[in-house]
Chain A
Amino acid sequence: MSRDTEWRRVRVIWDYSIARLEAGIAAPYAAQPMDSDAFAAFYQRSARSLWAYLARVCGNPALADDLMQEAYLRFLGVPHLPDGEVACRRYLFRIATNLLRDHWRSPRTSSIDELPETLFAVGSGSDASDAQLMLGPAMAQMGPRDRQLLWLAYAEDYTHNEIAEITGLRSTSIRLLLFRARRKMARLLRNKTSAERGCA
């Protein structure tokens, strides 16, 4: 390709990009991967699960709101989304997990370990289920990574490979970490149950 032809091609791309930007349309290299209706449907199907994950792992509903919004904004900013809703959903959880990690690493925010236990405990109102009343305090005694692993495995039913993809850990590590986490969680839940029975 001659220099003149190359220059003309660059000029055409440049003029086209400027014209589209002035018209308020995104540049062609940033094509929207999902249209508005498809996103609305995907949001309705995935948002509640994502919020539940964020709220139960970080223990702060307001923070979960912010992180969920940021997760969807980043999700929509990805130029090439994976094919299929299951893969998109997994990708969304991965973004949310990274946001949680960034939040905990940020020096301005308090560490998850410093959060008061009351954040994880649900209200004692009549709408709180028995399992929820047991799970909240038990979750508060787990580390943040254990909370993530347990939620992904037992609330979202993800396999070890999928959890590895979401958290960025190795699949072989997930097996061991999850084994320890679930043993500790089961012990905490049993202790809570036996303590409640003792009180009754």
Chain B
Amino acid sequence: MMLGQCAREKDVMALLRSGGWPAACEPELREHVEGCSLCAQTVLLKSSFADALAHAKDEARLQAPGMLWWRAQLRRRNAAVQRVNRPIAGAQWFALLINLLAAVALLASQWRHLDRIAAWFSGIANGPVFHPATLWAMAEQQPGWNLMILIPFIVAFVVLGGITVYLASER
């Protein structure tokens, strides 16, 4: 005999599962159960748990299966979108890394000429073209210049605004 098992336990369990205990039980088996602690345990536990199961089933609050189905579909779809987006995000990070490396390589290669580049930039900044007052005066003298200043500003505003709205909606 194995640990915690009686040879008649299967018969007792079969009767309990079919609902035949104790009415349909043979007197010989009933006598055995009264004398066998393992089979008595089985009867006690099985009948207690069967009653508890029946009672708990009545208590159960079920949802509509259609709602669960819909939520599962939504979850699957989100997971699929994430799976598709993962390589795109990876490519974006890769592109950013390449750009940074290129910038670093460019700076390293131009390091010796940095003072000349700085002087060139300061020359442009101090020149008359980038002073707003000078630009405004030129625009007043020539009517076509008003549009030349206004249109790039509007275009830049629209492009940057569009990008901002797109990024905000993505988030």
Contacts and interface: CB of A to CB of B under 8 A. Distances in A.
Interface of A: 17-18, 21, 24, 26-27, 30, 32, 36, 39-40, 43-44, 47-49, 51-52, 55-56, 61, 65, 69, 72-73, 76-77, 122, 127-132, 134-135, 150-151, 154-157, 175-176, 178-179, 182-183, 185-186, 189-190
Contacts of A122: 55
B8 interface: no
A26 B76 contact: yes
B165 to A, nearest CB: 20
Interface residues of B, number: 40
B79 A30 contact: yes
B77 interface: yes
A179 B80 CA distance: 46
Nearest to B74: A73
A24 B80 CA distance: 11
B48 A26 contact: no
Most A CB within 10 A of own CB, among B54, B59, B75: B59
Contacts of A27: 80, 83-84
Contacts of A69: 63, 68
Contacts of B53: 49, 52, 155-156
21 contacts: A17-B80, A17-B84, A26-B77, A27-B80, A43-B62, A43-B65, A43-B68, A48-B60, A51-B60, A51-B62, A52-B57, A77-B76, A131-B47, A131-B55, A135-B52, A154-B45, A155-B53, A178-B4, A179-B4, A183-B4, A183-B41
Interface in B56-87: 56-57, 59-63, 65-66, 68-69, 71-73, 75-77, 79-81, 83-84
